[in-house]
Structure 1
C-alpha cells in the first residue's frame, strides 16, 4: 500500500506538471499571436481535448490529477508531511486541502471532456463564469458575496507571491544540495507567475460585484488577454508564460525527487 501511495503521488505531481507546462506553452503562443488567446488550466484541458487522441489525453490527465487529489488529502487530513498541529503546520495543511479541492474540480472537468470538448473553449469558460456570477448576485447580499469572492481570488494570488519569497521549496526534495539550488528558482518563478496571473481576474470579479453586473466577470484566460491588450502586454504575458513553464518543470522535479512519506496509519491526528 505504501508503494502504491508513493507511485500515485509521483504520478500526480507529474500530471500537475504536464497541465501547467501546457498552460505556459499555450500562453506563450498566444503572446506571439500563434493561437487565438491565452488560457488557464481548464482552457488548456479543453485545447488538448480538441487535438488527436483528445479523449485519451483527458482520461490520462484526469487519472493523474485524481491521484494528486488523493495525495493532497493524505497531506491535509492524515498529515503525511508531519506538519503537526502548530499554527504554521495547520496553515500548510489547510492550504493543501484547498489545493486538493481545486485539483478535484479540474480532474472532474478532465473526465467530463471525455464526452467531447466544447466547440469554443474560451467562450464556454466565460459563459460559465458569468452564469456563476449571476447566480451569486441573485442571492441575498449577492453583491458583497461576489466582492468577497474577488477578494478571495486576490488573496490566493498574493499568497502565492508571498510563498515564492518565503518558502524553502527544497525542504521536501531528496536530491543533492547542488541540484536543489538549481531547481529552487523554478518554484519561485512559478509561484510568482501564478500569483500575478490571479490578480487581473480578482479585479474584474470585484468590479462586477460593485457594479452588480455579471457580464463583467470573465474567465482566467480572458483576464490574461485583457492584460495582453495593455502597453507592453505581450511581454508581460510572455513572462507569465515562462513562469507557468517553470512551475510545470518544478512539478516534474517533485515527481522524481520529492520525499513521499505515506502515513503509517490512515488515521487523522485531529
Structure 2
C-alpha cells in the first residue's frame, strides 16, 4: 500500500517544479531543503535567545536586582514588556515555530537518521515531546501580542494552579497530578543523564578544537535544566498527595523556593549560569549543526 505522505510530497514537488519552470520569481525561491535548513537554524537561535534570557533574569533575581525568578514563559512575558516588546514576541514566536517544524522532521521523519532501534526510537520520541513543549512556548509568545501580563511571575503561578484545579476535579485527579509531578521529575533526570551520556558535538560540523571547547556548554546546560525541574516536580507531587492546587507553582516560583534555602542564592546563580550555557550552545547549534532534511518522508512513529 503506497504511503500517502510520500505521495503528497511527490505531488508538491511536481507542483513546485512546474511553478519554477513557469515563473521567474519562483525560480529565485530556494529549494525546500535550503528553506528547511534556514528554518532549523533560526529555530535553534530562537531557543538560544529564550534560555539566555532566562539565565540572565534568574541571575539578576539571585543577586536581588529584580523581583522573582521566571521560567521560559516568564522570560517571554518580561521581554514583551520592554521597548519593542511585541516585536520581540513576534520574532521569537516565529523562530520557535520554525524549531517545532524541525523537531517534527527529526522525530516523525527521522531527519537525523536515528533509525528504529530502541535507542533511536527513544531519541525520536524525546524530540517529539520537545516539539510539543516548544509549540506551547510559541503559542505563549504569540499570545503576548494581544495581552501582556503586568506581573509575569504571578501570572505563571496562577495559570499553574488553575491547571492543577482542573486536574484535581477529574476522576482520580489526585493521582493524575502525582503522575504529572513524576513526569516532570523524569524529564529532569533524563536531562541529567543526557548530559553524562550524550555526545553533543556529534551533529556539529566544526573543527575538533572548537567541538572540544563548546561540548561542555551543552553538558552544563542540560544539568542545569535537569536540576531546575526537580523542585517543581516535588511541589507538584506534594500538591497531588495533599489534593491542594494551591501547592502547585510555576517553574520560576520553584526556583524562588530554592533561593530561600540556605545557600539558595548561590545555587540559583549556578543554575542561571547553566541556562546561559545552554542558550550559548543553542547559538553554536544554529551556526554549526548538520541539518539534513529528510530526502523522503517516512511513516510516522
| 1:83 aligns with one of 103, 114, 127 | 114
Contact 2:110–2:298, Cα closer than 8 Å, also in 1: no
* Aligned pairs for 1:172-251 within 5 A: 172-251=203-282
Does residue 137 (structure 1) correspond to residue 168 (structure 2)? The answer is: yes
Q: TM-score, normalised by structure 1?
A: 0.99
The match for 2:292 among 255, 258, 261 is 261
Q: What stretches of structure 1 of length at least 5 have no aligned partner?
A: none
Displacement of 1:269: 6.6
Task: Select the residue among 195, 219, 228 that pairs with 1:164.
Answer: 195
In the TM superposition, residue 267 of structure 1 has moved relative to its aligned partner by 3.4
**Which has the larger Rg?**
2
Q: Deviations over 1:52-78 (max 9, x none)?
A: 001000000000000000000000000
> Where has structure 1 moved over 6 Å in runs of 4 or more?
none
Determine if the alignment matches structure 1 residue 53 to structure 2 residue 95: no
Shift of 1:21: 0.2
Q: CA contact under 8 A between 1:55 and 1:116: conserved in structure 2?
A: no
Shift, 1:37, TM fit: 1.1
2:149 to 108, 118, 121: 118
* Aligned alpha-carbon RMSD (Å): 0.7
Q: How many residues are aligned here? A: 270
Gaps of 5+ in 2: 1-31
Instruction: Provide the secondary structure at the position in 1 that maps to 2:145.
Output: helix
State the shift of 1:15 in Å: 0.2
Q: How does 1:13-162 map to 2 (within 5 A)?
A: 13-162=44-193
Cα deviation for residue 120 of structure 1 reads: 1.3
Contact 2:232 2:249 in 1 (8 A): yes
